[in-house]
Amino acid sequence: MIDRGWWGVAVAAAIATLAGRAGSLSVSGQAAAVVVGALAVRAGWGWGAVLVLYFVLATALSRWGRAEKARRTRDVIPDGGRRSAVQVVANGGVFAGLLSVGDHPALRLAALGALAAAAADTWATEVGTRVGGTPRHLLTGAPLPPGLSGGVTVAGTLAALAGATVTALAAPWLIPSAGRGGIITIAAAGFLGALLDSVLGATRQGRWRCPTCGTIGERARHCDTFTEHAAGWRWMTNDLVNLAATAGGALLAFGFPSLRFI
């Protein structure tokens, strides 16, 4: 009889293939998704289901108003496309890694906190760039171009809280010992993880200036020329910021002992 680990690989491969055909994952992204999905299912079918729900909702939001998002952000961020292995790992790597370490409830809460942070950040980005008005710098309040990291809107902030909360609702189902306090813990950890993403995006993520028109953004090329480093750390990419946010969500979920098991 095939054990759950091999079933997990088969199911993850099937879903990744469908996502690739739908244009959501690149070839490398499909390979990474198989690994992340298989590790989730190995921890339990419920964990696999939560991961699939996260991916489906994230994909639906990314497709919603795609043309409008491209219009608003085309001068600032690279064109959206199929998610690569780096992007898959940045959003789901901490989640899958913690599930593979052990089955202690605190570790499982940390894993869910990482996924909640990924969901919160994704929902905030997708909703904020479509519905939100002029983004404001998280720390200074200065207006920013739509799509530039570190900018926040009211709609995006509410979406971040919603994304974290939707993920948190799975806590009592996946970790019965967590109780109702687990929902509060995961929702808070996910939301604060997304907030960390914005802080790092505003202060440390690399920004690049077009030497032709002066536009500052995250594109390697603009106006048919290579952009120049303008601010932040050169090596701090958006993917590294996302990875740090999920790690922050995991640490926060792990570090709320007064709420975890109410």
Each residue of 196-207: pLDDT tens digit? Answer: 999 999 999 998
The pTM score is 0.91
**What pLDDT does residue 164 have?**
97
Share the mean pLDDT of the chain.
Answer: 86
Is the Cβ–Cβ distance between 168 and 91 less than 8 Å?
Answer: no
Alpha-carbon distance of 12 to 92, in angstroms, equals 13
Residue 262's pLDDT band, with cuts at 50, 70 and 90, is very low
Half-sphere exposure of 105 (CA within 13 A, CB side): 18
Does residue 180 surpass a pLDDT of 80? Answer: no
Decide: 231 and 204 in contact? Cβ < 8 Å: no
The type of residue at 246 is: T
Range(s) of the domain holding residue 66: 4-260
Q: How many domains does the chain have?
A: 1
pLDDT in tens, 83-114: 888 999 999 999 999 999 988 888 999 999 99
pLDDT band at 244 (very low <50, low <70, confident <90, very high): very high
Alpha-carbon distance 183 to 202, whole Å?
A: 29
